[in-house]
Amino acid sequence: MMNIEKQSFGTTPEGKEVLKYTLSNNQGMEVDIISYGAIITAIRVPDSRNEPGDVVLGFDTLEEYLGDHPYFGAMVGRVCNRVGKSRFELEGRIFHITANEGANQLHGGKNGFDKQVWTTYSHKTPDQISLMLGYESADGEEGYPGSLLVEVEYSLNDKNELGISCRAKTDKPTHVNLTNHSYFNLNSCEGNILGHEMMIAAGSITELDGESIPTGKILLVDSTAYDFRLSTEIGERIDQVEPGYDINYVLDMKQRELTRVAAVHDPESGRSMEVLTTLPGIQLYTSNYVNGIRGKGGKVYEKHSAVCLETQFFPDSPNQPKFPSTVLLPGEEYSAITVYRFSH
């Protein structure tokens, strides 16, 4: 039967207890989530031989998650991806936010949502099990205006669908762009993902400058290494985009409805993953700077050891008036849904 279990995962240096929850369904799928960073620490799904395997990178201990790592499995905010020059104008005021990648901000700053302990409660219905995580981001945190109440719901059902539903409300005009930064390797995190076959339903990308900040231009993917509209091995053209893929795709969506936008298949294990979302963009990242990180079970993660498909509003949206807006006003609710569906 579907079940949710809770245990202690350790204590932060500030003395806050971190909890680990395990969600399990009737199909042999399990998802581990901790209250620190609302991090997905493991996703165990059966392969074509019905052997379970963990398909996301991560660590075994809280101490490792408290250290420096590339956002393994974390909920990223208040604004994910990059904000150019760590500033933006909102309602006539200039706001300076924390820089943590040169002059720019990446993934919410030095102490973003990935470094907070979230409140938790679980919920069960006949169709699914859910873990709700809440966080209140204070007015001025990392430079952002407004007190922001955030709720993330992770849900698991018997269709092997891991749902991520995000909601947020603010008391002042602000920007919100949340994503989950899971690193997927469908071959039980063995080797690299260059042989994984991938489809992304997008005919264009956001052009970047030398600091990976969007220029504001939208480029077509036709006849480029970025064209994944037909399922293609990730490694087939990756040498044309050294050091690998790290780009936002403009999804071919008519409306902001839950739409299948990407799919990945690993021929070796027989596992497949589909991505559905209500968001307008998806960041493809091929672990270009993962270099000798010792992870779960002592496994060493190297370059291209996983693929990230981060659903999002476009990078640098606070400074790009032509991009879909990330502005959230008092009285409004930020709402976004992403589903990762697994099969074998």
Catalytic residue IDs: 181, 310
Label residue 50 exposed, middle or buried (CB < 10 Å: 0-12, 13-18, 19+). Answer: exposed
- What is the distance between the alpha carbons of residues 98 and 104, in angstroms, rounded to a whole number? 8
Ordered strands of the 17-24 beta sheet: 3-11, 17-24, 30-34, 39-46, 52-54
Task: Return the DSSP state at 280.
Answer: S
Q: How many CA atoms lie within 13 A of 144 on its CB side?
A: 32
- Residue pair 273/341 in contact (Cβ under 8 Å)? The answer is yes
Listed in sequence order, the residues at least 6 apart from 278 whose beta carbon sits closer than 8 Å to its beta carbon are 256, 257, 258, 259, 335, 336, 337, 338
